[in-house]
Amino acid sequence: MLSAEVRAVLEKQGYRMVGRHSAVKLCHWVRERLLRGRACYKSRFYGIESHRCVQLTPSVAWCQHRCAFCWRPVEHTQGAEMEGSLDEPESIASGAIEAQRALLSGYGGESRVSRQDFAEALAPRHVAISLAGEPTNYPLLPELVQEFHRRGMSTFVVSNGMNPQVMERVEPTQMYLSLPAPTQEVYRKLARPVVRDGWSRLMQSLEVLSGMECRTAVRITLVRGYNFLPEEYARLVEKAEPDFVEAKSYMHVGYSRRRLSRQHMPLHAEVVEFAEALADATGYRIKDASPESRVVLLCRK
């Protein structure tokens, strides 16, 4: 399903392809945890073991957004909707774990990596289903999540809200909904959707999120000069009723450097100021923060 050109770009970026439309890539924090004992903010917020986390996408080159702040090569996105024959969830799950182990193999001889940590990394306990593309474009995502749960792994699904009908059927450990903008005008500028009804789909997904039984979170990526609008965001947060809200700075890394400047990356103090205003407007409270990652966690009181 992937064109040779797109596959070559992704492999050069460090992606390990799984089947016809999925991929795994080692997260920066897997390396940091193994080499330097430093863990991702999700470890602090949610208890995730960074070195035992698989970063996976079942739809590596298909997304309805071309977000300006995305670090991924969205210019090489192959389409908005997946077409053709799809791989089965069991084969994707097995292939993802195998790919993760292959990507980790070089750390076995690294003197800075403890034997215990390396052995644990080869037996992942968590999968973050995001990475690139939109996971809900893969129609068998609910079955894929169930397959990982059957293997004793927890699942975080990160969605851009473009397929509310799939979100309704997914039951991960935690469901993230990315909320790039608080208004339709800002949404068009930042998310740069390739579908005409993207905002309507996103609003439907906020309603779906409010009814989900799993742990839920709204993720707000803050871009200086674009979406520092806490009062407007408050209305959408109240609509979605998530358990958590993550307010996080845009990071000037990867392919986003071709679309935005370093001046668009907020300081942690600016993120805290936004989070405080959002807390005042919603009744949520600030629970934790990670200055290193420029992220603040809010939760219901």
Residues 6+ apart with CB under 8 A from 55: 24, 25, 26, 27, 30, 127, 128, 130, 131
Order of strands across the sheet that contains 244-249: 16-18, 22-24, 53-57, 126-129, 154-159, 174-178, 215-222, 244-249, 295-299, 285-290
- Which residue, chain included where needed, has tokens 């800075």? 112
Q: What is the pLDDT of residues 16-31, one digit of tens each?
A: 999 999 999 998 889 9
Q: Are 259 and 68 in contact (CB under 8 A)?
A: yes
pLDDT at 1 over 80: no
Q: What is the pLDDT of residues 209-262, one digit of tens each?
A: 999 999 999 999 999 999 999 999 999 999 999 999 999 999 998 888 999 899
When pLDDT is cut at 50, 70 and 90, the band that residue 42 belongs to is confident
Task: Please give the CATH superfamily to which domain 4-299 belongs.
Answer: Aldolase class I (3.20.20.70)
Residue 298 to residue 122: CA distance in whole angstroms: 33
pLDDT at 73 over 80: no
Token readout for 38 is: 């430093």
pLDDT at 5 over 90: no
Residues 6+ apart with CB under 8 A from 56: 18, 22, 23, 24, 92, 96, 127, 128, 129, 130, 131
pLDDT at 174 over 90: yes
Residue 179: per-residue pLDDT: 95
Q: What is the C-alpha R_g of the chain? A: 18
CA nearest to 200, candidates 161, 245, 228: 161
Residue 72: per-residue pLDDT: 81
Residue 175: per-residue pLDDT: 96
Residue 137 — φ and ψ, nearest 5°?
-70, -25
The stretch 67-89 carries a mean pLDDT of 85
Q: What is the pLDDT of residues 205-216, one digit of tens each?
A: 999 999 999 999
pLDDT at 157 over 80: yes
When pLDDT is cut at 50, 70 and 90, the band that residue 81 belongs to is confident
Burial of residue 258 (CB within 10 Å: 0-12, 13-18, 19+) is exposed
Q: What is the pLDDT of residues 267-287, one digit of tens each?
A: 999 999 999 999 999 999 999
**Three-state SS across 99-117?**
HHHHHHHHHHHCCCCCHHH
Percentage of residues of the chain with pLDDT beyond 90: 75
Residues 6+ apart with CB under 8 A from 267: 249, 294
Strands 295-299 and 244-249: antiparallel
Residue 267: per-residue pLDDT: 97
Q: Are 267 and 224 in contact (CB under 8 A)?
A: no
pLDDT at 132 over 90: no
Q: What is the mean pLDDT of the chain?
A: 93
Residue 77: per-residue pLDDT: 83
Residue 28: per-residue pLDDT: 87
Residue 211: per-residue pLDDT: 95
Q: Are 67 and 191 in contact (CB under 8 A)?
A: yes
Most confident of 22-36, 101-115, 172-186: 172-186
Q: Where are the domains of the chain?
A: 4-299
